[in-house]
Structure 1
Amino acid sequence: MSSIAQNTEKALNLLSSPFSESKQHRRLLKIYVDGYPDDAFIVNSAVFHEQVSKPFQFKVDVYSEKKHQLDAPDMIGVKAVIVLEDDGEKPRYFHGHISSFTSPQRTTQLSRTQYKMVLSPWLQMYEQVTDCRIFQNAAVMDVIQTLFKDITVAKYDLSSVTDKHYQREFWVQYNETIVNFFNRICQAEGIGYYYTHTKTGHTLHLIDTHRHFQNIKGHNPLKIQPKTAAHLHLTDWGKTNKFVVSRQVQTSYNALSPTQMPSVTATGKGEINSSAIAEALESYRYSEYFNTIEEGNEAAGRANKQSYARLAIWKGKGDYIHLTPGYNFRVTHVPADVVLDDANQDFTLLSSMLTVDQLIHSIDVSFSAVPLGVLVTPTGLTPVISGLQTAVVTGDAKIGTPYTVDSEKLGRVKVQFHWDREGKRDSNTTCWLRVMNPMAGPRHGAHFTPRIGQEVVVAFENGNPDYPFILGALYNGENQPPFIEDHGFRSGFRTATIDAGKDAANATKYNELSFYDKKGQEEIRLRAEKDFNAIIQGNKTQHIMQNDSQTIDQNLDMAIGDNLSIKAGSSIALEASQSISIQVGGSSIEISSGGINIKSSQISINGSVVNIGSIVNLG
């Protein structure tokens, strides 16, 4: 007698003796829930949904003769395992955490209470856990391990991630769940996953190449044959094709080498090129996620593989209980004289739905598969920051004042976002952010470097949280604007001296260019805290409509290459408290409080009248 026939007979015997039905060891499906006796719950039926790169979901209907007043808080998050054990077959385990629990009305006739449970993976328990985090200078595996580090129930395997994955300067999880962030970074890096189950737990396996998929153990190849009680079988097997474009073209922009915009193309293989229309069409996308041709080729290749994964899907039905997504298999036909086009082709199981009814001993499996070599990755939505945010400039405060500058060759700075609760307000808080200026040309333009402690306005390229840049700065309760004593009449620029010690907070040491605009008192003020240097390559022309007044506390030195011409409409007055000297070659005139000294090899005095005082010493 076949195993199915034997179990059918057992099921009939159990139905005839309902009081012995609670003994799980005699049943096709068993369930064990942590913290409860082995026979606390009895399975009526179950539906098991599994799929590559998606969470599994096990729906199970149970009853209990011992636990009659259970509520969801008693059960949510509790571990449970369902065991499917058909005679002659190795037991199959379905392990998970109870994510949904329904307790309907109690059945009084048989003293049983019916319950419905849904089992989900440990990762899915974090589907509603949102966070805002920044990961710096890390490859995708570093990010994932950091993400899972604080999840105590996490059980995962990274050994099948063997391809090259480039380190990224900046990854941002912004107002999104752990599950969505995990899915989208796996999608971006071409990483898929699947689950395996044991009696005590389930493991998330990450994989970035089909070469690491294993073959289904036992019953391989699967046999297409008529449904009988003596054999496992497939009753349906067919293929569905969909239209996909042939080429994936991507372009990116790298601010560090702006004239070399990398553009890459990936073309489909095999059947993807069989259509003339498909070959004529391409999918063109702009992407921020690569900076070099090498990185772009891999990104376009991953996009092309995901497109190819939708090209052809094989679907089947049967009663194989060990069909597990993420494993490879072949299909054959019985009798062998029936020609099967797919007989020598390897497939990877993409999804499966196993339905088991305990009462009628029914096992039905429907599944989908893709050709070996296709790796389906998860999908996740990248959050979009459509508006502006503010942040505080950070860095290495080597000088230790509120106005310390920490920037690099492009004038970029780092910031601490207000939502970043793990940032330390240092140079490791964010990536380098470019700063918008009115002009930016090769060695010319305008440039102001935001300083540590200043609040800045941040925008995001294409709304992508991974690509922030600074638009400008804002004053706040700690950083007051200059010129407030002028009641809004004065505007302009004032830069505080760096490493100004006690004067830094009040900016009493500074350079300034300001404008006073009150009617009748208009003024331009220019101040240099130390030196003022001006270079004029051509001419300098000044037209002063009224007076010019200069006060020099120490010395005035003038060096004129050719001529000095001074012309006054009325008079010129020169006054010195000690002396005035005029010298041309060896001749000089010196005027002091003690007299006038004229020295020259020849002195000529020409005039129609020459008055000489009473004392004349021509000595």
Structure 2
Amino acid sequence: MAEAEAITFTFESEGFAGLPIHVGAAHLSERMNEPFVARLTLAVPIPDADVAQMIGKAGTLTIERQGGALRHVHGVVAELELGEPPGPNTRDRATWATVTLVPAFWLLGLSRNTRIFQDMTAVEILEAVVGPALSTYGRELRVSLDGSYPTREYCVQYQESDRDFAQRLIEEERISYAFDQEGDVEVLVLRDRNAAHPQTPTQTGDLAIPFQPHALDLDLDEPIVEVRHRAKDTTQSVVIRDWDWTRADMPFDAEQRATDPHGRDRESYDQGWGRTAWITDYAGTSYSAEDTARQVGVRQQALVRDADSIEVVSRVVGMAPGTRFGVAGHPTPGFDGEYFVTHVTHFADAARAETDGKGYVNLVHAIPVATEWRPERRARKPAIPSIQTAVVTGPSGEEIHVDEHGRIKVQFHWDREGAYDEQTSCWIRVRQPWAGGGWGFWWVPRIGMEVVVHFVDGDPDRPMISGSVYDGTNALPYPLPDEKTKSTIKSSSSLGGNGFNEFRFEDKAGEEEIFTHAQKDYNEVVEHDHTTWVGNDQTNEVDVDQTQTIHLNQVEQVDGNQKMTVGGNRTVKVKGSFEETIDGTEDRHVVQDVTETFDANETRTITGDVTETFSSNETRTITTDQEEAITGSQTRTIKGASTVTITGKLDQTVIGGITSTTPSAHTIIAVGGFTVTTPAQVKLTAPAGVTFIAPGGFTQIDQGQDWLGGLKKAYSPLSWSVFAVAMEIVQVQVGFTNIKVELGIVTCTKDHLDLKPHAAKMWNNAVGLYNGLKSRVTGFMNRG
């Protein structure tokens, strides 16, 4: 009977506090990085007990061996099934049920959420998700990690249970977890090194467990009764490639190489399942770090971890994943050594324990402790194969929120935690139709817009804005369907939206139009030719100033009429020559004064007539010489007076004759003297008489010159008054009966000469003059 009591199995539940419940059979499966599952057949020592109250409550499976070995498995009852009693006489003594005991972490799989985490490491996210969730069950998360983990700029729990999300993060970072059962409740513990895991609890307390293949009949002992070694080929090398769009050397690689015992390399090129490496430490313009080297190392460890392993059959009740034990005394070389438990399956049968002492055994899988155990990536990240929409967000009071890369932030419609501010998402890149090195399209969605979001490789952590849509808040620029033929690109002035720029098309047949509107400035740059063709009219209206600069030539052709109206002044400056050709007439009307200034010469050629009409005065000032050449005739008509003032000398050369006609007097005043020189005759015709006044004296008259040659008779008397002027008169037609010369001191007539005082000295001249005149007059009279 002592053997029958060597090992016992009991269960305690919150629903039946203080009441030990008999365990008829137990099947417990424990694996690294998985919640354990215990299937227990229970006999509650109360007939028709309300065993359903155990659901969701804490329970503990206890395996106790005589000699001190004790194993507790704490958990929560997740499932219960009422069963038939094993015999006809047991119903009145107990209520039989089968329950499923799991850790509280397993229950996190029953809730699902979608939310965003920013600028946190995976460990920090796990603490934020798992810690509070476990606390509702009185459990906790314990972090016992030696490594450092990169900050994730953006991480989404998308339609995942808290457990699946946590499982995925743990696997992505290659962290291991197991459950510590040493206290009153199970504790989820995160570790990243085999050496950090505890030793397997044994009856003796030793790390090494003896190999005893024939000890199955004794539940009192904890031997290893069977060891099987397993070796298999695995992937040897890992290569990772990822993309950092902020770096010039954009794709970056990392690799971890190894070969099998035959020198062969089997490579895994890992670039799937979303991000392959985390790009971290955004420094304002680019990312400065990535964990590719760490990732490639731990992934290679995960791939080769099962190349060498053992399978052990034992009766050590303390065997649990995440513990270390040793094998001692195995006859096969290489079997002895220290191992790391990866998973254990426990089998317990109380009936056999009572009858043959073989009521408990376990099957253990382990790897050499020197081989770091890394989890595989089995938890698939949820994919978003289609598009979603979101609302652009930013700081209060702003309309545009963008970083130096043109990225924006959004809030997804499913996000219940965001506040529609600048913290609602990571910076998200915006797809453009064209994106080159400093050239391409650029449109930035503004706060409040509903944008279309795609996800790179369907990864929720890698959103990308691909466009925007109109909605109930943001209406279309033009009402539809009334304006259905219009297409437009229309912006809105920021801040305030009180203006817009627009480039619009109207495609209605017969009313086609391209419309451009610039709210303020409109600048156009053409590096080479610019051609504009207008099939009909063109109208340009400038409300203020217009400046046009042409650095070379300009040709302007108007086939019809041209009309220019300048409301103010007009200034034209030509640095070179100015040539104007008018095939028809030219009419110029100047209401006020006209001023023309020529710094050099002016030449005007007029092949037809020139008519100038001055309604008022004309003044011309020529500071140097003037030369005027007229190949034909010139006629001047001056209705008023004409005054010519010459401060210098006047020379006139007339090839033909000169005729000067005036109906009134003609006066010539020469202050410096008056000289007429001609190789021919000088004739003065004055029917009313000629008067010579020479106060200074009449110096000489050439007697040989014919004074009166050709004169006709029967003319009235001729009178001279001489005041110091010497004159020669030729071809003067006169008729006279008396000659009178008055010199102030001499009176001379035909028959009489009167010499006044002081005239003696002029006598000779007077006599000569008289005789000359007398002979000429006599000759003239005789010819008559």
* TM-score, scaled relative to structure 1: 0.87
User: CA separation in 1, counterparts of 2:10 and 2:556?
Assistant: 111
Secondary structure class of the residue paired with 1:55: coil
User: CA separation in 2, counterparts of 1:580 and 1:600?
Assistant: 16
Tell me the CA shift for residue 604 of structure 1.
Answer: 6.5
User: CA separation in 2, counterparts of 1:495 and 1:67?
Assistant: 79
| Compared CA separation, residues 317 and 579, structure 1 to 2 (3 A) | closer
User: CA separation in 2, counterparts of 1:149 and 1:308?
Assistant: 32
Aligned equivalent of 2:16: 36
Instruction: Indicate if the aligned counterparts of 2:127 and 2:141 stay in contact, CA closer than 8 A.
Output: no
* Deviation larger for 174-183 or 601-610: 601-610
Aligned equivalent of 2:26: 46
The structure that has the greater radius of gyration is 2
Residue 357, structure 1, aligned to residue 349, structure 2: yes
Give the one of 201, 212, 224 matched to 2:211.
224
Give the one of 597, 604, 618 matched to 1:600.
597
Residue 307, structure 1, aligned to residue 303, structure 2: yes
Tell me the CA shift for residue 294 of structure 1.
Answer: 6.0
Q: How does 1:107-256 map to 2 (within 5 A)?
A: 109-110=89-90, 111=92, 112-151=94-133, 152-153=136-137, 155-198=139-182, 200-217=184-201, 218-225=205-212, 226-227=214-215, 228-229=217-218, 231-256=221-246
Secondary structure class of the residue paired with 1:444: coil
| Compared CA separation, residues 509 and 154, structure 1 to 2 (3 A) | farther
Secondary structure class of the residue paired with 1:181: helix
User: Deviation per CA, 1:118-177, whole angstroms, max 9, x where unpaired?
Assistant: 110111001121111111111111100111243122634544211121111111111111
| Compared CA separation, residues 187 and 587, structure 1 to 2 (3 A) | closer
Specify every segment of 5 or more residues in structure 1 that has no aligned partner in the other structure, as ranges.
12-26
Instruction: Indicate if the aligned counterparts of 2:64 and 2:71 stay in contact, CA closer than 8 A.
Output: yes
Residue 409, structure 1, aligned to residue 399, structure 2: no
Aligned equivalent of 1:95: 74
Instruction: Indicate if the aligned counterparts of 1:393 and 1:453 stay in contact, CA closer than 8 A.
Output: yes
| Compared CA separation, residues 574 and 36, structure 1 to 2 (3 A) | same
Residue 613, structure 1, aligned to residue 613, structure 2: yes
Secondary structure class of the residue paired with 2:309: strand
Q: How does 1:323-342 map to 2 (within 5 A)?
A: 323-333=319-329, 338-342=331-335
Query: Aligned Cα RMSD in Å?
Result: 2.6
Tell me the CA shift for residue 267 of structure 1.
Answer: 2.5
What letter matches 1:396 in structure 2? P
Aligned equivalent of 1:473: 468
| Compared CA separation, residues 484 and 258, structure 1 to 2 (3 A) | farther
User: Deviation per CA, 1:402-438, whole angstroms, max 9, x where unpaired?
Assistant: xx11111211111111111111212221111111111
Secondary structure class of the residue paired with 1:375: coil
Instruction: Indicate if the aligned counterparts of 1:193 and 1:377 stay in contact, CA closer than 8 A.
Output: no
As a proportion of its length, which structure holds more strand?
Answer: 1
User: CA separation in 2, counterparts of 1:497 and 1:511?
Assistant: 8
Q: How does 1:406-445 map to 2 (within 5 A)?
A: 406-445=401-440
Specify every segment of 5 or more residues in structure 2 that has no aligned partner in the other structure, as ranges.
280-287, 354-358, 579-587, 620-784
User: CA separation in 2, counterparts of 1:576 and 1:322?
Assistant: 106
Instruction: Indicate if the aligned counterparts of 2:69 and 2:317 stay in contact, CA closer than 8 A.
Output: no
| Compared CA separation, residues 158 and 203, structure 1 to 2 (3 A) | closer
Aligned equivalent of 1:347: 339
What letter matches 2:209 in structure 1? L
Tell me the CA shift for residue 311 of structure 1.
Answer: 1.5
Aligned equivalent of 1:18: none
* Deviation larger for 601-610 or 82-91: 601-610
Q: Aligned residues, how many?
A: 577
Q: Which has the higher contact order (CA 8 A, sep 6+)?
A: 1
What letter matches 2:445 in structure 1? P
Aligned equivalent of 1:280: 265
Aligned equivalent of 2:643: none
Secondary structure class of the residue paired with 1:131: strand
What letter matches 1:367 in structure 2? V
Secondary structure class of the residue paired with 2:564: coil
What letter matches 1:86 in structure 2? R
Aligned equivalent of 1:24: none
What letter matches 1:609 in structure 2? D
Instruction: Indicate if the aligned counterparts of 1:220 and 1:329 stay in contact, CA closer than 8 A.
Output: yes
Tell me the CA shift for residue 398 of structure 1.
Answer: 4.1
Aligned equivalent of 2:367: 370
* TM-score, scaled relative to structure 2: 0.70
What letter matches 1:597 in structure 2? V
Instruction: Indicate if the aligned counterparts of 2:131 and 2:140 stay in contact, CA closer than 8 A.
Output: no
| Compared CA separation, residues 126 and 583, structure 1 to 2 (3 A) | closer
User: CA separation in 1, counterparts of 2:138 and 2:454?
Assistant: 35
| Compared CA separation, residues 604 and 260, structure 1 to 2 (3 A) | closer
Secondary structure class of the residue paired with 2:110: coil
Secondary structure class of the residue paired with 1:150: helix
Q: How does 1:388-537 map to 2 (within 5 A)?
A: 388-399=387-398, 404-484=399-479, 487-500=483-496, 504=497, 509-537=499-527
What letter matches 1:600 in structure 2? T
User: CA separation in 1, counterparts of 2:175 and 2:362?
Assistant: 27
Q: How does 1:564-579 map to 2 (within 5 A)?
A: 564-579=554-569
Instruction: Indicate if the aligned counterparts of 2:14 and 2:54 stay in contact, CA closer than 8 A.
Output: no
Give the one of 39, 45, 51 matched to 1:65.
45
Secondary structure class of the residue paired with 2:126: helix
User: CA separation in 1, counterparts of 2:466 and 2:68?
Assistant: 66
| Compared CA separation, residues 563 and 267, structure 1 to 2 (3 A) | closer
